[in-house]
Structure 1
Amino acid sequence: MIDTTALAEKPVLAGDRIRLVPLSDRHATAFHATVQDLETRRLTGTHQDWSLAELRAWIAECGARTDRLDLAIEDRATGGYLGDLALNRIDPANAHGSFRIALAPSATGRGIGSEAIRLFLGHAFERVGLHRVQLEVFAYNDRARRAYERCGFVLEGRLREALHWDGEWHDVLVMAALRPQRTGAR
Protein backbone atom coordinates (compact mmCIF):
# COMPACT_ATOMS: atom_id res chain seq x y z
CA MET A 1 0.00 0.00 0.00
CA ILE A 2 1.47 3.33 -0.97
CA ASP A 3 1.11 6.58 0.94
CA THR A 4 -0.21 9.06 -1.61
CA THR A 5 0.01 11.85 0.98
CA ALA A 6 3.80 11.51 0.70
CA LEU A 7 3.53 13.08 -2.75
CA ALA A 8 1.97 16.20 -1.26
CA GLU A 9 4.89 16.54 1.16
CA LYS A 10 7.87 18.09 -0.57
CA PRO A 11 10.90 16.74 1.30
CA VAL A 12 14.48 17.89 1.58
CA LEU A 13 16.78 14.90 1.08
CA ALA A 14 20.48 15.36 1.83
CA GLY A 15 23.31 13.35 0.36
CA ASP A 16 27.07 13.68 0.67
CA ARG A 17 27.45 16.31 -2.07
CA ILE A 18 23.91 17.24 -2.99
CA ARG A 19 20.56 18.15 -1.55
CA LEU A 20 17.18 17.43 -3.15
CA VAL A 21 14.77 20.27 -2.40
CA PRO A 22 11.31 21.29 -3.55
CA LEU A 23 11.50 22.83 -7.01
CA SER A 24 10.77 26.54 -6.62
CA ASP A 25 10.98 29.86 -8.41
CA ARG A 26 14.55 30.37 -7.23
CA HIS A 27 15.53 27.52 -9.58
CA ALA A 28 13.64 28.89 -12.59
CA THR A 29 16.43 30.77 -14.37
CA ALA A 30 18.96 27.91 -14.05
CA PHE A 31 16.27 25.35 -14.91
CA HIS A 32 15.39 27.38 -18.01
CA ALA A 33 19.03 27.53 -19.08
CA THR A 34 19.23 23.74 -18.71
CA VAL A 35 16.16 23.06 -20.86
CA GLN A 36 17.54 25.43 -23.50
CA ASP A 37 20.90 23.62 -23.69
CA LEU A 38 21.05 21.70 -26.99
CA GLU A 39 22.82 18.63 -25.59
CA THR A 40 20.45 18.43 -22.62
CA ARG A 41 17.52 18.65 -25.03
CA ARG A 42 18.98 15.81 -27.12
CA LEU A 43 19.62 13.59 -24.09
CA THR A 44 16.12 14.19 -22.70
CA GLY A 45 14.33 14.24 -26.07
CA THR A 46 12.84 17.63 -25.28
CA HIS A 47 11.17 19.04 -28.38
CA GLN A 48 9.11 21.68 -26.59
CA ASP A 49 10.48 25.19 -26.19
CA TRP A 50 9.64 26.64 -22.79
CA SER A 51 9.77 30.36 -22.19
CA LEU A 52 10.99 31.45 -18.79
CA ALA A 53 7.47 32.67 -17.99
CA GLU A 54 5.94 29.29 -18.92
CA LEU A 55 8.52 27.48 -16.84
CA ARG A 56 7.90 29.76 -13.84
CA ALA A 57 4.15 29.08 -14.10
CA TRP A 58 4.74 25.32 -14.24
CA ILE A 59 7.15 25.44 -11.29
CA ALA A 60 4.59 27.45 -9.28
CA GLU A 61 2.11 24.57 -9.69
CA CYS A 62 4.59 21.90 -8.56
CA GLY A 63 4.41 22.68 -4.86
CA ALA A 64 0.66 22.11 -4.71
CA ARG A 65 0.58 18.95 -6.80
CA THR A 66 -0.39 15.82 -4.92
CA ASP A 67 -0.08 13.44 -7.86
CA ARG A 68 3.67 13.84 -8.47
CA LEU A 69 6.90 14.93 -6.82
CA ASP A 70 9.30 17.40 -8.46
CA LEU A 71 12.57 18.23 -6.75
CA ALA A 72 15.59 20.33 -7.66
CA ILE A 73 19.11 18.99 -7.24
CA GLU A 74 21.34 21.49 -5.47
CA ASP A 75 25.02 21.52 -4.64
CA ARG A 76 25.10 20.97 -0.88
CA ALA A 77 28.01 23.40 -0.37
CA THR A 78 26.87 26.28 -2.59
CA GLY A 79 23.12 25.79 -3.09
CA GLY A 80 23.72 25.99 -6.85
CA TYR A 81 21.23 24.34 -9.19
CA LEU A 82 22.46 21.03 -10.64
CA GLY A 83 19.27 19.65 -12.19
CA ASP A 84 15.85 18.32 -11.39
CA LEU A 85 14.03 15.03 -11.04
CA ALA A 86 10.44 13.91 -10.86
CA LEU A 87 8.27 11.01 -9.80
CA ASN A 88 5.06 11.03 -11.81
CA ARG A 89 2.39 8.84 -13.42
CA ILE A 90 1.76 7.17 -10.07
CA ASP A 91 -0.42 4.06 -10.14
CA PRO A 92 -1.51 3.56 -6.51
CA ALA A 93 -3.26 0.24 -7.14
CA ASN A 94 -0.09 -1.28 -8.54
CA ALA A 95 2.39 0.70 -6.41
CA HIS A 96 4.46 2.01 -9.28
CA GLY A 97 5.43 5.28 -10.85
CA SER A 98 7.64 6.81 -13.50
CA PHE A 99 10.89 8.66 -12.95
CA ARG A 100 12.83 11.26 -14.89
CA ILE A 101 15.97 13.30 -14.27
CA ALA A 102 17.75 16.08 -16.11
CA LEU A 103 21.14 17.41 -15.09
CA ALA A 104 22.53 20.85 -15.81
CA PRO A 105 25.47 20.57 -18.24
CA SER A 106 27.93 21.52 -15.46
CA ALA A 107 26.72 18.60 -13.30
CA THR A 108 27.36 15.74 -15.71
CA GLY A 109 30.17 13.22 -15.44
CA ARG A 110 30.68 13.70 -11.68
CA GLY A 111 28.37 11.09 -10.16
CA ILE A 112 25.81 13.74 -9.21
CA GLY A 113 23.06 11.93 -11.10
CA SER A 114 23.73 8.61 -9.38
CA GLU A 115 23.71 10.23 -5.95
CA ALA A 116 20.44 12.04 -6.73
CA ILE A 117 18.81 8.89 -8.11
CA ARG A 118 19.72 6.83 -5.04
CA LEU A 119 18.34 9.48 -2.68
CA PHE A 120 15.17 9.82 -4.72
CA LEU A 121 14.60 6.06 -5.04
CA GLY A 122 15.06 5.65 -1.29
CA HIS A 123 12.27 8.17 -0.76
CA ALA A 124 10.05 6.59 -3.42
CA PHE A 125 10.40 3.11 -1.95
CA GLU A 126 10.55 3.86 1.78
CA ARG A 127 8.35 6.93 2.25
CA VAL A 128 5.93 6.75 -0.69
CA GLY A 129 5.88 2.96 -0.54
CA LEU A 130 6.26 2.23 -4.23
CA HIS A 131 7.16 -1.26 -5.33
CA ARG A 132 8.40 -0.33 -8.80
CA VAL A 133 9.86 2.79 -10.42
CA GLN A 134 10.33 2.85 -14.18
CA LEU A 135 11.94 5.18 -16.66
CA GLU A 136 12.64 5.60 -20.33
CA VAL A 137 16.10 6.41 -21.70
CA PHE A 138 17.15 6.88 -25.29
CA ALA A 139 19.34 4.13 -26.70
CA TYR A 140 22.07 6.65 -27.56
CA ASN A 141 22.36 7.90 -23.98
CA ASP A 142 24.89 5.34 -22.72
CA ARG A 143 26.09 7.48 -19.80
CA ALA A 144 22.58 7.74 -18.34
CA ARG A 145 21.86 4.06 -18.93
CA ARG A 146 25.02 3.07 -17.02
CA ALA A 147 24.11 5.42 -14.15
CA TYR A 148 20.62 3.91 -13.97
CA GLU A 149 22.10 0.40 -13.90
CA ARG A 150 24.44 1.39 -11.04
CA CYS A 151 21.37 2.55 -9.12
CA GLY A 152 19.50 -0.74 -9.56
CA PHE A 153 17.52 -0.19 -12.76
CA VAL A 154 17.27 -3.18 -15.08
CA LEU A 155 16.60 -3.08 -18.81
CA GLU A 156 13.14 -4.51 -19.47
CA GLY A 157 12.40 -3.63 -23.05
CA ARG A 158 12.85 -1.52 -26.13
CA LEU A 159 10.38 0.74 -27.89
CA ARG A 160 11.67 0.61 -31.44
CA GLU A 161 12.04 3.93 -33.23
CA ALA A 162 9.91 5.77 -30.68
CA LEU A 163 11.88 9.04 -30.78
CA HIS A 164 12.38 11.16 -33.86
CA TRP A 165 15.38 13.41 -33.31
CA ASP A 166 17.41 15.42 -35.75
CA GLY A 167 15.90 13.64 -38.75
CA GLU A 168 16.51 10.12 -37.44
CA TRP A 169 14.52 7.51 -35.52
CA HIS A 170 15.90 6.23 -32.22
CA ASP A 171 14.90 3.43 -29.86
CA VAL A 172 13.71 4.12 -26.33
CA LEU A 173 14.82 1.72 -23.62
CA VAL A 174 12.48 0.91 -20.74
CA MET A 175 14.16 0.28 -17.39
CA ALA A 176 12.80 -0.30 -13.90
CA ALA A 177 13.99 -0.64 -10.32
CA LEU A 178 12.11 -2.70 -7.77
CA ARG A 179 11.87 -2.00 -4.08
CA PRO A 180 14.73 -3.85 -2.37
CA GLN A 181 13.63 -6.88 -0.42
CA ARG A 182 14.27 -6.58 3.27
CA THR A 183 16.69 -9.24 4.43
CA GLY A 184 16.04 -10.92 7.72
CA ALA A 185 12.42 -9.74 7.83
CA ARG A 186 9.82 -12.39 8.65
Structure 2
Amino acid sequence: MKLRELKREDMAGMLEWMTDPYIRQNFRFGSDKIDEKSVLSFIQNAGSALRAPIEGNTIHYAIADEESDEYLGTISLKAISIANKHAEYAISLRRKAQRKGIAIEATKEILRLAFVKYNLERVYLNVFSDNIPAIKLYEKCGLVLEGEFRNHLVVEGEYKSLKWYSILRTEYQGKYGIPINN
Protein backbone atom coordinates (compact mmCIF):
# COMPACT_ATOMS: atom_id res chain seq x y z
CA MET A 1 0.00 0.00 0.00
CA LYS A 2 1.12 3.52 -0.78
CA LEU A 3 -0.44 6.96 -0.73
CA ARG A 4 -0.18 9.08 -3.87
CA GLU A 5 -2.00 11.88 -5.64
CA LEU A 6 -5.34 11.07 -7.25
CA LYS A 7 -5.21 10.58 -11.02
CA ARG A 8 -7.79 10.58 -13.79
CA GLU A 9 -7.27 6.81 -14.09
CA ASP A 10 -8.70 6.42 -10.57
CA MET A 11 -12.16 7.56 -11.69
CA ALA A 12 -13.63 4.07 -12.29
CA GLY A 13 -12.49 2.82 -8.89
CA MET A 14 -13.85 5.94 -7.21
CA LEU A 15 -17.21 5.57 -8.94
CA GLU A 16 -17.26 1.94 -7.82
CA TRP A 17 -17.14 2.72 -4.08
CA MET A 18 -19.16 5.92 -4.34
CA THR A 19 -22.12 4.03 -5.83
CA ASP A 20 -21.74 0.73 -3.90
CA PRO A 21 -24.80 0.42 -1.59
CA TYR A 22 -22.80 -1.59 0.98
CA ILE A 23 -20.23 1.19 1.31
CA ARG A 24 -22.78 4.01 0.91
CA GLN A 25 -24.71 2.91 4.01
CA ASN A 26 -22.06 4.64 6.12
CA PHE A 27 -22.14 7.95 4.26
CA ARG A 28 -24.37 10.98 4.68
CA PHE A 29 -24.57 12.16 1.10
CA GLY A 30 -26.59 10.44 -1.58
CA SER A 31 -25.15 8.81 -4.67
CA ASP A 32 -27.78 10.28 -7.00
CA LYS A 33 -25.52 13.18 -8.10
CA ILE A 34 -22.37 11.11 -8.57
CA ASP A 35 -21.27 10.68 -12.16
CA GLU A 36 -18.03 10.71 -14.15
CA LYS A 37 -18.09 14.49 -14.46
CA SER A 38 -18.43 15.05 -10.69
CA VAL A 39 -15.72 12.48 -9.90
CA LEU A 40 -13.35 14.01 -12.43
CA SER A 41 -13.97 17.44 -10.90
CA PHE A 42 -13.25 15.96 -7.45
CA ILE A 43 -9.92 14.54 -8.71
CA GLN A 44 -8.94 17.84 -10.32
CA ASN A 45 -9.74 19.78 -7.14
CA ALA A 46 -8.27 17.22 -4.74
CA GLY A 47 -5.27 19.29 -3.79
CA SER A 48 -1.72 18.37 -4.46
CA ALA A 49 -0.16 16.01 -1.94
CA LEU A 50 3.17 17.60 -2.84
CA ARG A 51 2.41 21.09 -1.58
CA ALA A 52 1.77 22.38 1.93
CA PRO A 53 -1.83 22.46 3.14
CA ILE A 54 -3.78 25.71 2.85
CA GLU A 55 -6.13 27.05 5.52
CA GLY A 56 -9.59 25.55 5.08
CA ASN A 57 -8.60 23.23 2.25
CA THR A 58 -8.53 19.47 1.97
CA ILE A 59 -5.81 17.15 0.75
CA HIS A 60 -6.99 13.85 -0.70
CA TYR A 61 -4.64 10.95 -1.33
CA ALA A 62 -5.27 7.86 -3.39
CA ILE A 63 -4.62 4.63 -1.53
CA ALA A 64 -2.92 2.47 -4.14
CA ASP A 65 -1.39 -0.97 -4.45
CA GLU A 66 2.38 -0.73 -3.98
CA GLU A 67 3.15 -2.97 -6.97
CA SER A 68 0.44 -2.32 -9.55
CA ASP A 69 -0.50 1.26 -8.54
CA GLU A 70 -4.17 0.18 -8.70
CA TYR A 71 -6.50 2.64 -6.95
CA LEU A 72 -7.96 1.07 -3.79
CA GLY A 73 -9.55 4.04 -2.03
CA THR A 74 -9.21 7.61 -0.85
CA ILE A 75 -7.91 8.99 2.44
CA SER A 76 -8.09 12.66 3.34
CA LEU A 77 -7.18 15.45 5.68
CA LYS A 78 -10.17 17.80 5.41
CA ALA A 79 -10.95 21.30 6.64
CA ILE A 80 -7.31 21.89 7.51
CA SER A 81 -6.74 24.64 10.06
CA ILE A 82 -3.20 25.99 9.94
CA ALA A 83 -3.99 28.45 12.74
CA ASN A 84 -5.33 25.77 15.09
CA LYS A 85 -3.19 22.94 13.70
CA HIS A 86 -5.95 20.39 13.14
CA ALA A 87 -7.70 18.53 10.34
CA GLU A 88 -10.55 16.10 9.89
CA TYR A 89 -9.67 12.57 8.78
CA ALA A 90 -11.73 10.60 6.25
CA ILE A 91 -11.23 7.27 4.47
CA SER A 92 -13.14 5.12 2.02
CA LEU A 93 -12.01 1.88 0.39
CA ARG A 94 -13.34 -0.10 -2.52
CA ARG A 95 -14.99 -3.29 -1.29
CA LYS A 96 -12.20 -5.44 -2.77
CA ALA A 97 -9.64 -3.64 -0.55
CA GLN A 98 -11.54 -4.04 2.73
CA ARG A 99 -10.60 -6.45 5.54
CA LYS A 100 -7.00 -6.77 4.32
CA GLY A 101 -5.25 -4.36 6.70
CA ILE A 102 -5.03 -1.67 4.03
CA ALA A 103 -7.14 0.81 6.01
CA ILE A 104 -4.85 0.40 9.04
CA GLU A 105 -1.71 0.97 6.95
CA ALA A 106 -3.23 3.97 5.17
CA THR A 107 -4.45 5.49 8.45
CA LYS A 108 -1.04 5.12 10.08
CA GLU A 109 0.53 6.83 7.06
CA ILE A 110 -1.94 9.74 6.96
CA LEU A 111 -1.41 10.26 10.69
CA ARG A 112 2.36 10.29 10.12
CA LEU A 113 1.90 12.92 7.42
CA ALA A 114 -0.44 14.96 9.61
CA PHE A 115 1.89 15.09 12.58
CA VAL A 116 5.35 14.87 11.03
CA LYS A 117 5.02 16.52 7.60
CA TYR A 118 2.17 18.98 8.22
CA ASN A 119 2.97 19.64 11.92
CA LEU A 120 -0.63 19.32 13.13
CA GLU A 121 -1.65 19.07 16.79
CA ARG A 122 -4.90 17.14 16.38
CA VAL A 123 -6.64 14.90 13.86
CA TYR A 124 -10.33 14.22 14.40
CA LEU A 125 -13.27 12.43 12.79
CA ASN A 126 -16.87 11.50 13.29
CA VAL A 127 -18.49 8.19 12.46
CA PHE A 128 -21.98 6.75 12.62
CA SER A 129 -22.27 5.11 16.04
CA ASP A 130 -23.39 1.83 14.47
CA ASN A 131 -20.38 1.57 12.11
CA ILE A 132 -18.54 -0.96 14.31
CA PRO A 133 -15.84 -1.97 11.75
CA ALA A 134 -14.77 1.67 11.31
CA ILE A 135 -14.81 2.29 15.07
CA LYS A 136 -12.55 -0.74 15.62
CA LEU A 137 -10.14 0.61 12.97
CA TYR A 138 -9.97 4.06 14.56
CA GLU A 139 -9.42 2.69 18.05
CA LYS A 140 -6.75 0.26 16.81
CA CYS A 141 -4.92 3.20 15.24
CA GLY A 142 -4.94 5.15 18.51
CA LEU A 143 -7.85 7.53 18.08
CA VAL A 144 -9.67 8.32 21.32
CA LEU A 145 -13.45 8.61 21.76
CA GLU A 146 -14.35 12.18 22.72
CA GLY A 147 -18.11 11.80 22.86
CA GLU A 148 -21.32 11.06 21.02
CA PHE A 149 -23.91 13.31 19.41
CA ARG A 150 -27.08 11.27 19.85
CA ASN A 151 -29.74 11.35 17.10
CA HIS A 152 -27.73 14.10 15.42
CA LEU A 153 -28.52 13.48 11.75
CA VAL A 154 -31.45 12.27 9.73
CA VAL A 155 -30.21 9.96 6.98
CA GLU A 156 -32.82 8.46 4.66
CA GLY A 157 -35.53 9.18 7.22
CA GLU A 158 -33.71 7.58 10.15
CA TYR A 159 -31.95 9.29 13.06
CA LYS A 160 -28.23 8.56 13.26
CA SER A 161 -25.88 9.21 16.15
CA LEU A 162 -22.28 10.28 15.60
CA LYS A 163 -19.25 9.30 17.65
CA TRP A 164 -16.37 11.77 17.67
CA TYR A 165 -12.77 10.58 17.83
CA SER A 166 -9.41 12.34 17.82
CA ILE A 167 -5.72 11.75 18.29
CA LEU A 168 -3.36 14.39 19.60
CA ARG A 169 0.24 14.86 18.61
CA THR A 170 1.52 13.54 21.98
CA GLU A 171 -0.78 10.49 21.79
CA TYR A 172 0.48 9.75 18.28
CA GLN A 173 4.08 10.04 19.42
CA GLY A 174 3.41 7.77 22.43
CA LYS A 175 1.68 5.11 20.34
CA TYR A 176 4.04 5.05 17.37
CA GLY A 177 7.28 6.22 19.01
CA ILE A 178 8.05 8.58 16.14
CA PRO A 179 9.90 11.73 17.17
CA ILE A 180 8.10 14.91 16.19
CA ASN A 181 9.75 18.30 15.98
CA ASN A 182 7.67 21.16 17.35
The TM-score with structure 2 as length reference comes to 0.85
Change in CA separation of 1:90 and 1:63 when aligned onto 2, cut-off 3 Å:
closer
Question: Equivalent of 2:24, from 41, 45, 48?
Answer: 41
- Note if 1:134 corresponds to 2:124: yes
- Note if 1:116 corresponds to 2:102: no
Report how far residue 155 of structure 1 moved. 0.6
Is the 8 Å Cα contact of residues 44 and 102 (structure 1) preserved in structure 2? no
The aligned counterpart of 2:89 is 99
User: Does the residue aligned with 1:102 lie in a helix, a strand or coil?
Assistant: strand
Q: 1-side partners of 2:14 and 2:70: how far apart?
A: 11
Report how far residue 166 of structure 1 moved. 3.8
- The amino acid of 1:141's aligned partner reads N
Report how far residue 144 of structure 1 moved. 0.5
For structure 2, which runs of at least 5 residues remain unmatched after alignment?
A: none
Is the 8 Å Cα contact of residues 86 and 100 (structure 1) preserved in structure 2? yes
Question: Equivalent of 2:44, from 37, 49, 60?
Answer: 60
The aligned counterpart of 1:21 is 4
Aligned residues: CA RMSD: 2.0
Is the 8 Å Cα contact of residues 70 and 85 (structure 1) preserved in structure 2? yes
Report how far residue 181 of structure 1 moved. 4.2
Q: 2-side partners of 1:34 and 1:55: how far apart?
A: 11
Change in CA separation of 1:164 and 1:128 when aligned onto 2, cut-off 3 Å:
same
Report how far residue 164 of structure 1 moved. 2.2
The aligned counterpart of 2:151 is 161
The TM-score with structure 1 as length reference comes to 0.83
Is the 8 Å Cα contact of residues 47 and 58 (structure 2) preserved in structure 1? no
Identity over the aligned pairs, expressed in percent? 30
User: Does the residue aligned with 1:33 lie in a helix, a strand or coil?
Assistant: helix
Q: 2-side partners of 1:134 and 1:89: how far apart?
A: 11
| Number of residue pairs matched by the alignment | 168
Q: Which moved more, 1:44-53 or 1:175-184?
A: 175-184
- The amino acid of 1:175's aligned partner reads Y
Could you give the per-residue CA deviations for residues 100-148 of structure 1, whole angstroms, max 9, x where no partner exists? 0001111111111111000110010000000100001111110010000
Q: Which has the higher contact order (CA 8 A, sep 6+)?
A: 1
- Note if 1:173 corresponds to 2:163: yes
Q: 2-side partners of 1:27 and 1:168: how far apart?
A: 33
- Note if 1:85 corresponds to 2:75: yes
Change in CA separation of 1:105 and 1:181 when aligned onto 2, cut-off 3 Å:
closer
Q: Which moved more, 1:157-166 or 1:101-110?
A: 157-166
Is the 8 Å Cα contact of residues 88 and 98 (structure 1) preserved in structure 2? yes
